[in-house]
Amino acid sequence: MTDLPILERVRRRLAVDTSEPSPHSVAAALRAEHHVAGSATVLALVDQLRSETRGAGLLDPLLATPGVTDVLVNGPDEVYIDRGRGLERSAVRFADEESVRRLAQRLAAQAGRRLDDASPWVDARLGDGTRLHAVLAPVAWPGTLVSLRVPARRSFSLDELRSSGSLTDDIVQLLRRIIAARAAFVVTGGTGSGKTTLLAALLAAVDPNERLVIVEDATELRPDHPHVVGLEARPANVEGAGLVTVRDLVRQALRMRPDRLVVGEVRGAEVVDLLAALNTGHEGGCGTLHANSPRDVPARFEALGVAAGLPRDAVHSQLAASVDLVIHLASGRDGVRRVEQIATLERGRDGAVACVPALTLGHSGAERGPGYPRLETLFR
């Protein structure tokens, strides 16, 4: 194990030098500290110091691990990964709290953001598309918290999702019919349920002659489609200027002649413009929405719309007229993410919209629900 005191002393000596640590500079720093070390120790120090100045340092091997979607750091002693089967504790450890803090600040700086005691949290996207969220201690405990969301390295087709067990043959055929019918839909589910993965696969099945315009808070959707363009939101800079919201971008997207308007995740005031767009001739629009069950979807739209200044009745009126279906995902006990239910949105006598199950999928197969006739009418 590396001698932490000597590592810190070498680090301080090299801090005045802006060049990358090298065997020569590390050896010179060791001599200045009157520390005798062999070539193996020098090279180990060089590797460790370089890891602190490149990429995500100690976390780079985890981020490069196939299948990893999230890397979570809870202070210096707890590092977790998610490979789609729930959280797993890794063997990675940081030397101390200061090491985690330095990493978080360096990653924030790479994204052009400020992270210090005056601004103790950051939400940004790194150059390779990785989503960074960090909160410094003592605001966070047990230490500085770092959350890294790894972008999808590739898009999956519906057939590939069927092969992985996420979809059945019947559901693949049904989803293709939904796309061909230009039905407007939202893909829902909890955190890590695979919403973005499924939406990308659905968009890949869209007619190649159609133009997809995707609006996202942070770029994640990469559908395998020949005509797709994207708009990405931008936070304000340290002076508070330059903010570009998803709502701003939805309005811009409407002027870009979209055949399909896609909002990567509906979670703010953009819901007003999205519902208005889908209700004024923009068929086949879609997006994702965080919801624990289909029946929660109308309430989620209501909460977002009311918070954006839209009256409750207007939210339900536009929702009923603009969104046709909800495709809900859930992770099973075996860790596989599957389509759990397809539901229709129907307005009741009281004016409120409700999710009505059309197909519910379980171990015994697909069970038709009261919303199935409405689903069939979409295909005519």
Taking 70 as the threshold, does the pLDDT of residue 54 lie above it?
no
**b/e map of 291-325 (b: 16 or more CB within 10 Å)?**
bebbbbbbebbbebbeeeebeeeebbbbbbbbbbb
376 vs 18, residue with greater confidence:
376
Q: What is the pLDDT of residue 48?
A: 65
379 vs 229, residue with greater confidence:
229
- The pLDDT tens digits for 6-52 are 766 776 666 555 456 777 777 777 777 767 777 777 777 766 666 65
Q: What is the pLDDT of residue 26?
A: 74
Top-ranked range on mean pLDDT: pick from 166-170, 236-240, 285-289: 285-289
Average the pLDDT over each of 50-59, 76-85, 111-120, 144-153 and give the range with the smallest value: 50-59
CA–CA distance, 182 with 178 (Å, rounded to integer): 6
The arrangement of strands across the sheet holding 353-362 comes to: 228-232, 212-216, 260-263, 286-290, 185-189, 325-331, 337-347, 353-362, 365-368
HSE-CB for 356 with a 13 A CA cutoff: 18
Number of helices (H) and strands (E) in the chain: give both, helices first: 13, 15
**Stretch 226-253: mean pLDDT, rounded?**
87
- The pLDDT tens digits for 83-130 are 877 899 999 999 899 999 999 998 998 888 889 999 999 988 887 888
The percentage of the chain sitting over the pLDDT mark of 70, rounded to a whole number, equals: 92
Q: What is the pLDDT of residue 240?
A: 74
The sign of the CA dihedral 213, 375, 197, 234 is positive
Q: What is the dihedral of CA 361, 364, 370, 371, to 10 degrees?
A: 30
Which residue in the block uniquely carries the two structure tokens 């770092």? 146
320: tokens are 């009923």
235 vs 91, residue with greater confidence:
91
The model's confidence at residue 234, banded by pLDDT at 50, 70 and 90, is confident
Instruction: Please give the mean pLDDT across all residues of the chain.
Output: 87
Q: What is the pLDDT of residue 362?
A: 78
**Stretch 167-182: mean pLDDT, rounded?**
94
**How much is the pTM?**
0.78
- The pLDDT tens digits for 335-367 are 678 899 999 999 998 999 999 999 998 777 789
CB-based contacts of 324: which residues, under 8 Å, 6+ apart? 183, 184, 185, 344, 345, 378
DSSP state of 151: P
Q: What is the pLDDT of residue 121?
A: 94
CB-based contacts of 236: which residues, under 8 Å, 6+ apart? 242, 243
Taking 60 as the threshold, does the pLDDT of residue 2 lie above it?
no
Q: Strands 353-362 and 337-347: what pairing?
A: antiparallel
The model's confidence at residue 1, banded by pLDDT at 50, 70 and 90, is very low
Asked if 126 contacts 53 with a C-beta cutoff of 8 angstroms, the reply is no
HSE-CB for 61 with a 13 A CA cutoff: 7
- The pLDDT tens digits for 265-312 are 898 999 998 898 888 778 899 999 999 999 999 999 999 999 999 999
207 vs 39, residue with greater confidence:
207
Q: What are the start-end ranges of the H helices in 116-245?
A: 158-163, 169-180, 195-204
